[in-house]
Structure 1
Amino acid sequence: ASPPTEEAAKLTEPLTKEDLVAYLASGCKPKENWRIGTEHEKFGFDVETLRPITYDQISAILNGLSERFEWDKIMEENHVIGLKQGKQNISLEPGGQFELSGAPLETLHQTCAEVNSHLYQVKAVGEELGVGFLGMGFQPKWALTDIPIMPKGRYEIMRNYMPKVGTLGLDMMFRTCTVQVNLDFSSEQDMIRKFRASLALQPIATAIFANSPFKEGKPNGFLSLRSHIWTDTDNNRSGMLPFVFDDTFGFEQYVDYALDVPMYFVYRNKTYIDCTGMSFRDFMAGKLPQVPGELPTLNDWENHLTTIFPEVYL
């Protein structure tokens, strides 16, 4: 995602739990406004050496796409870290995985056209720079130490935190790719039905599209090493969510879950401040040692929700 924005006006009233629930409920839309959004990631590699592409090569691709196909650049400090065009974004995952965050579209056919157009552009620019792209679930050839690190503030915080909460989090960050779909809902009831169906279908999707049998050039014993990596990345914020199948499930229960997921950061004065290990509940009470006495805005809540990655999320 592009760097978060900061709300100019501080809220006059402290946020309540009801506000957090209302934020999720505000996602309800009438059926005629439903859209599909797709996120599509891939690995770039140097065609000559097969090595992962460096940030300099990535920056050349982003600049090339911007010039040739009229994308606007997204900058962090002096680095180009992404592109924007209408409602589409191109962003970078921690190890330089190239991600298209597609526009909200009406049909799967439009999604297909969008991805194909994106791949055409990326290949056209990449070809001239000697760069190829590979859609696989796990980097098949190179070790963690071979993967370049992207110059994005939030990833530095994650990189330091991951080894404290699981053995495979750095692999998740630097060596996996995914395709994700975002779906709309019309009501709390509709959200619950879709959430349960999506969770039930997730293991089937994992099996059907299993695409990560290699690690560092050899078979790794898994059909989907990618799904195995998620079992020990950070179990506070990933995996299945059994409570979704409880009779009491709804927006409020998801808020209760998210309030207790440890935070990564808050974004202030164009800087990511490390808050790892503290919960959003602490923040609501003004008890974040990193920003003493400060209370969160809805923007902070939105940012926090982007750092939670169970198999299906709201």
Structure 2
Amino acid sequence: MKARIWGARGSLPVALTHTQIRAKLVAALEGAIGRDLDNSEKIAGYVDSLGFDVRGTFGGHSSCVEVQVWDPDNCAEHVILDMGSGVRPLGGAKLARYGPGKPQTYHVFMSHLHWDHIMGFPFFTPAYIPGNRIIIYGCHAQLETAFRRQQESISFPVSFDQLGAKIEFRQLEPGVPIEINGLRITAKLQLHAGDSYGYRLEHGGRTLIYTTDSEHKLEDSAARQGFVDFFRNADLVIFDAMYSLADSISVKADWGHSSNVVGVELCQLAGARQLCLFHHEPIYDDAQIARVLAETRRFAELTGEAPLDVVAAYDGMEIEL
């Protein structure tokens, strides 16, 4: 099982500004002063030694994760978690690999129907290709309504009924697992405006948890235990860590998101192996996200009896379970 992050931001897509790109260039060049960088190999080595927040970017697409479950060379089925703006490059990559003449099936699991999680669908190229099949799963009764409404003429020039692929909607029941070719998926209700749902994916002895747009009240011990059980022994937890703990329990309480500290605590209690910080605050630049990651790793090191690997999601990241 492998997770590919196509969109790691929360709430809305963001792009690097001129000022931010300039700051990265200045930092890199300042670090190069006095170094003997007189050939391409040395330059590449120096760039690779820079911090990720200088040499790269955590990206700006809104939530979208692909889970590779089956052999892509022998199976024309794919799993997608949410359809934020990151699903546009995902669709482009699939088209480049398989071409328009090889029909594919996409199993899409929706955490919820807020715009940042469905906004990529009108730009998902496979939806326009006859022969493709897109099955959209979710626990919301308004699942189909949300996707159709987004493509009404006041919002988008191509209507839902003009899409070439066969598109189906399937409503799930929280706590009741379904199976697709040996993949077991279970949904769990989460605290968020209009409700959201996390997913536990199990296949081949590996477990991935996808839990975004979920708020955790520190005083609700029963709810906390429910998530500990849901995360139990997971190989990877992709977790909504949009806010600091201080913000999540004060000025941004009841905004429907969580923090890095809560993510660490839940993973430690559940015996999870890896935590991926996800749904990054859109006002955070790369340096701020890098600081959050460093602080989270330090917190996990100081508080955990067993090691917990902590990473921060970025567009293009791949995590092998």
TM-score, L = length of structure 2: 0.28
TM-score, L = length of structure 1: 0.28
Greater share of residues in strand: 2
Q: Higher relative contact order by CA 8 Å / sep ≥ 6: 1 or 2? A: 1
